[in-house]
Amino acid sequence: MLTGLIFYVLILLAGTGGELCVSRAMKTIGEVTDFRPRSIARVIVRAMQVPWMWLGLGLMTTGFFSLLGMLSIANVSFVFPATALSYAVGALGGKFFLGERVTPQRWVGVLFVVIGVTLVVLGKR
């Protein structure tokens, strides 16, 4: 039980935190508008020079392996719906870490996700 809780928290915080860090790194680099192979290679090289990218990749790796651990001890029909809570964590991170504007309509959507995750968790018992 405790192991599953640890995996779950790591999936939510490390996985989503990693996505937020990668987003911050890409905002530092700027919009990608040229998708030719040489241009994409330049973007990748520039991205690898941003510390947020490395932190994000490390956190996302932690989240991924936590997901594998969680799948080894829980049913996939529980794990994937329950990890949808990462959308709420992402919205909060977008607002407070990245300074994004989150509209009231998006918050209502996040609330629906949280309600759905609550129903999934309560249905597990």
6 vs 60: CA distance, rounded Å: 15
Residue 38, number of CB atoms within 10 A of its CB:
7
Contact residues for 35 (Cβ-Cβ < 8 A; gap 6+):
none
Place of tokens 């989240």: 63
pLDDT tens digit sequence for 27-85: 999 888 999 999 999 999 999 999 999 999 999 999 999 999 999 999 998 898 989 99
The pTM (predicted TM-score) of the whole model is: 0.89
Q: What is the DSSP letter of 49?
A: T
What mean pLDDT is predicted for residues 3-22?
95
What pLDDT score was predicted for residue 48? 96
Contact residues for 23 (Cβ-Cβ < 8 A; gap 6+):
56, 94, 98
> In the predicted model, is pLDDT for residue 125 greater than 80?
no
Amino acid in the structure at residue 25: A
Angle at 112 between CA 91 and CA 5, to 5 degrees: 70
What mean pLDDT is predicted for residues 83-88?
93
Q: Could you tell me how far CA 99 lies from the centroid of its own chain?
A: 16
